[in-house]
Amino acid sequence: MSEFLDFLKHKYAYVALGEFKPGKLAEAEQMFETIVSTYRQGFKGSYFLQEPGTDRGIAVIFWENIEDMDANKSEFSEEILHQMKHLFAKPPQTSFYEVHSEIIPQDTMENEEVAS
């Protein structure tokens, strides 16, 4: 029964859309990776996306629940975020989304079962 209830739980995605000053996206990506590498409780993965040929990017961070994001805040991560502010051309747009659908390729699932 608990497996079924776990199936019903949704992950959450924190999404930030940003435009960086010319040539600053790579530096922002490094800072993003530094912050995300510290996350533990409820952290389910992340992506940093770039629109090809531009300085626009999207950061997506997956969480077990919304409260986990706050639980992972630290002085270190807040300092890095503060340092990132000067890299943006304008403040990023941020939102939380509930993940309703996740499709994992069948061959990925089979590889995970073999490794278990």
CATH code of residue 85: 3.30.70.100
Q: How many domains does the structure of the chain reveal?
A: 1
5 belongs to a structural domain: no
pTM for the model stands at 0.82
The pLDDT mean for the chain works out to 89
pLDDT of residue 7: 54
pLDDT of residue 42: 96
pLDDT over 80 at 26, yes or no: yes
Structural domain span for residue 20: 10-115
88 belongs to a structural domain: yes
The H or E element containing residue 19 is strand 12-20
Q: Residues with Cβ < 8 Å from 87, sequence gap 6 or more?
A: 20, 21, 24, 27, 28, 31
76 belongs to a structural domain: yes
Higher pLDDT, 89 or 1: 89
| Beta strands in 21-63, from DSSP E residues, in sequence order | 43-50, 56-63
96 belongs to a structural domain: yes
